[in-house]
Amino acid sequence: MPGFEFFGEKEKKEVQDVLDSSVLMRYGFDGMRNGHWKAKELEAEISSRMGSKYTQLLSSGTAALTVALASAGIGAGDEVIMPTFTFVASFESILAIGAVPILVDVDDTLTLDPKAVEKAIGKNTKVIMSVHMCGSMANLDALKELCDRHGLLLLEDACQAIGGSYKGKALGNYGDLGCFSFDYVKTITCGEGGAVITNNEKYHKNADHYSDHGHNHVGNDRGAETHPFLGYNYRISELNAAVGLAQIRRLDEFLDIQERNYTILRNALEAVGGVTFRRVPEGGVENYSFLSFFLPTKEKAVRTQNALSTAGVDGCFYWFDNNWHYYRNWDHLTNNISLGKLPAEVLNQMPDYSQSNFSKSDQWISRNISCLIKLGWSESEVHERAEKMVETLKTILD
């Protein structure tokens, strides 16, 4: 991770097709395209790889989450349960449609704790958003059981976990809707882009229309298309889709490299007393984009992260103090800081997060370090990195 490490002739060829046709927009201009429909091709390839009936490409992973929620009819006053550990896009997408983000604790999977989720379900709850952070997943069976029992939707935010699976199903294709991000630092990239996958025809049709100003995409005359409901512009361009088309065809290649590098590092760290690893639910397969492990205490985790940085081991993240991925520094959410007025439903229903107790999340995240797994490392470089990590950890833990 990420796919930009391996840009090459395949990506250039797909982009050149678009430049040669001069049609950069995914819709219309049929006669000028020379048969090139990169967004449509990429949607078909994603559906094939993920085993889903439908794929809708969008301009970003954030757009994918927003469109997924809107396509299922989620709106003002509806509550969406989400984890305390995720990227800010999770709650941004919820707020963008006037819905209310309900934060709950994570467990040793670094994802939603099903017990915490069950306690948070209320009369306005409509969705459980399971975020597959750092390449792995929650106990999706437990979350699906809650959804079935309470009549809720299961939305998988698989933006950091493309290529992972749970009980034989691709992540993103287990719930009602799944979302991917193809931004510049994801396992495969479009530069900017995202996708919603689903097996529900209605949700797909809604996503298709909603993401293009409500266009119904019937017939071959774009100007004559009707608009059955309000929509907005979340379209991807043909240039971005062209890059993604080359990259989706390389996904398994990338995953194999990530697994090799991950396994070398993990095997080395397993020999260090005091180091434990995130739990992957039974039946789950990570996409190996991060190696996440726990230290015995918060203090030792802080010391370890600093020592790894000093030793030249880059790409190791201590999320507990991170501005973008952990609730403790989401001051703009806690204080409802917005350029315009937030909807009354949000202001009235939003919990007072300045008073919330997420100590169960803290006990896991404060002891966690997640190390990015790069594609560009040679095998010898990975072994060298493993040796440095082991030496550094032993100075902290011995």
HEC string of 339-362 equals CCCCCHHHHHHCCCCCCCCCHHHH
Distance CA 319, CA 112 (A): 16
User: For residue 304, what are its two tokens?
Assistant: 């370890």
Sheet with 169-170: strands ordered across: 169-170, 165-166, 284-285
Contacting residues for 217 by C-beta, under 8 A, at least 6 apart? 27, 208, 209, 225
Asked if 144 and 150 touch (Cβ cutoff 8 Å), the reply is no
ω into residue 2 within 30 of 0, thus cis? Answer: yes
Confirm if 74 and 97 have CB atoms less than 8 A apart.
yes
Active site residue ranges? 186
Looking at residue 161, the DSSP 8-state letter turns out to be -
**Assigned token pair, 115:** 């017990």
The DSSP H or E segment spanning 131 is strand 125-131
Neighbours of 31 (CB within 10 A): 7
Distance of alpha carbon 77 from alpha carbon 97, whole angstroms: 9
Residues in the chain, total: 398
Long-range contacts of 46-51 (CB under 8 A, 24+ apart): 46/180, 46/195, 46/197, 46/248, 47/197, 49/170, 49/248, 49/251, 50/170, 50/172, 50/173, 50/178, 50/197, 51/169, 51/170, 51/173
* AA identity, residue 158: A
